[in-house]
Amino acid sequence: MKPVKVGICGFGTVGGGTFNVLTQNAEQIARRSGREIIIEQVGARRDNPACDTSNTNVTRDIFDVARNPDVDVVVELIGGYDVAKELVLEAIKNGKHVVTANKALIAVHGDEIFAAADKAGVTVGYEAGVAGGIPAIKAVREGLAANNIERVAGIINGTGNFILTEMRDKGRDFADVLKEAQELGYAEADPTFDVEGIDAAHKLTILSSIAYGIPLQFDNCFTEGISKITRDDVEYAEELGYRIKHLGISARSEKGIDLRVHPTLIPETNMVAKVDGVMNAVAVKGDAVNDTLFCGPGAGAGPTASAVVADIIDIAREIKVAPLSYNTLDDVKVLEIEEVETSYYLRMQAQDKAGVLANVASILSNKGINIEAIIQKEPAEGETLVPVIMLTHKVQEKIMNQAIAEIEASGDINGSVTRIRVEHLN
């Protein structure tokens, strides 16, 4: 069989990792693919000191790779939306298969790219875009294909999980941990994508599209970041038997699909709560299989390259799979965040006087909100404000917003109420 010739565009952390995995594991990969996989060309503005390219054709123009008649598979690892889209469409136009780790590209322009690929009869692989080294897309699309998927929930940003873990375990500073995540090659070029949940929203959009057969709807994904989480919240959550994780959650109900990324309290006994550092966890609930959990490193050169190379091997074996089930979609509505029901963690600085707690409780009970647990701390020396922390039972977000607005207007508390959503994942 003729070898498959690969052109790698982008030679940073993931590009370098892919080059090295393809080179170092060439023999094993050839056995699994049934043919040799050769790096025909690398397109990059800079060399990667971790890679020996002395025997490789390197061009400074990535579009050379997309047009190179000897390249069968273009591997897009430059990131970003615009140039990446142009590159991928150019490669498809030239009859190349494409493998990408670019979740932003797929979440936002995927439908257009898949349509072009369908027309050209080529495959677009994007396993590396979701949850790094975990074969999450394969698991949902192939391994769980027999199921109606009921929920997908998980930690799908390694940088965010690394930051929350280091802050909790070592009391480290947010900015300092973020800098380390950047040095380790975990963070996006713009790290606000990690911290504000945009990266996780890209990934959740892709996974949900596959899980429920709906179009890619990044704009309908509710997104809240971790930058406002304080050490106090982390400690109170622990006192209540929970951990704070930055989760992507989508679930299907009769009303529609909720699609949301936000900091979430989950019971410390839940397996997802124990997934720390750069590790990701994707929990999928199917009607036949019930609960499954896939866990592994969510970022970094090796894990992401592992997923990129697996897609290249699939293409080499000519396993063609429909890129997304969007063409057999159900017309299911994505719910507005106000329509979603969850439990809540609330923290407020209350006035230290009689009746305050009763007033807050009565605002909640008038709205039918059931309190599950309360912690009230003694005021610090010389302080007139006491921290009050509550866990509630499930309630619709719209009702909780009304209750929070009333509590904030009551004069019983100082400042605003901190609210973190709680999921029991059961």
Indicate which residues carry an active-site annotation.
203
Q: Hey, what are 233's tokens? A: 């919240």
Give the SS3 label for residue 364.
helix
The site string for ligand HSE over 247-286 (x = CB under 6 A, - otherwise) reads ----------------------------------------
Shortest spacing between CB 158 and ligand HSE, in angstroms: 4
Q: Is 159 in the site for ligand HSE (CB under 6 A)?
A: yes
Shortest spacing between CB 199 and ligand HSE, in angstroms: 5
Question: Which of residues 132 and 154 has its CB atom nearest to ligand HSE in the complex?
Answer: 132
Residues 84, 232: Cα–Cα separation, whole Å: 41
How far from 223 is each of 42, 135, 395, CA to CA, in Å?
36, 24, 19
Q: Is 323 in the site for ligand HSE (CB under 6 A)?
A: no
Question: Which of residues 9 and 340 has its CB atom nearest to ligand HSE in the complex?
Answer: 9
Shortest spacing between CB 118 and ligand HSE, in angstroms: 26
Question: Which of residues 299 and 395 has its CB atom nearest to ligand HSE in the complex?
Answer: 299
Q: Hey, what are 222's tokens? A: 């509710």
- CA-based radius of gyration for the chain: 24
Hey, which residues between 168 and 207 contact ligand HSE (CB under 6 A)? 186-188, 194, 199
Q: Is 212 in the site for ligand HSE (CB under 6 A)?
A: no
How far from 190 is each of 106, 162, 182, 197, CA to CA, in Å?
17, 16, 10, 12
Residues 326, 319: Cα–Cα separation, whole Å: 19
Question: Which of residues 66 and 131 has its CB atom nearest to ligand HSE in the complex?
Answer: 131
Q: Is 132 in the site for ligand HSE (CB under 6 A)?
A: yes
How far from 251 is each of 29, 104, 255, 344, 385, CA to CA, in Å?
37, 22, 10, 18, 39
Torsion from C-alpha of 91, 92, 98, 100, nearest 10 degrees: 80
Shortest spacing between CB 186 and ligand HSE, in angstroms: 4
Question: Which of residues 247 and 422 has its CB atom nearest to ligand HSE in the complex?
Answer: 247
Among 41, 157, 209, 342, binds ligand HSE (CB under 6 A): 157
How far from 151 is each of 79, 202, 260, 284, CA to CA, in Å?
29, 17, 12, 6
Report the phi/psi class of residue 75: left, alpha or beta, with left for phi > 0 and alpha for psi in -120 to 50.
beta
Count of residues in contact with ligand HSE, rule CB under 6 A: 11
Shortest spacing between CB 363 and ligand HSE, in angstroms: 39
Kindly indicate which of the ranges 156-164, 243-251, 268-276, 318-326 contains the residues binding ligand HSE, using the contact rule CB under 6 A. Answer: 156-164
Among 154, 297, 298, 387, binds ligand HSE (CB under 6 A): 298
Shortest spacing between CB 406 and ligand HSE, in angstroms: 38
How far from 426 is each of 207, 284, 285, 291, 422, CA to CA, in Å?
20, 11, 9, 8, 12
Q: Enumerate the H helices of 25-135 as residue ranges.
A: 26-33, 62-67, 82-93, 103-120
The strand ranges marked E within 268-358 are: 279-286, 290-297, 341-351
The site string for ligand HSE over 92-131 (x = CB under 6 A, - otherwise) reads ----------------------------------------
Question: Which of residues 194 and 258 has its CB atom nearest to ligand HSE in the complex?
Answer: 194
| Contacting residues toward ligand HSE, per CB under 6 A | 132, 157-159, 186-188, 194, 199, 298-299
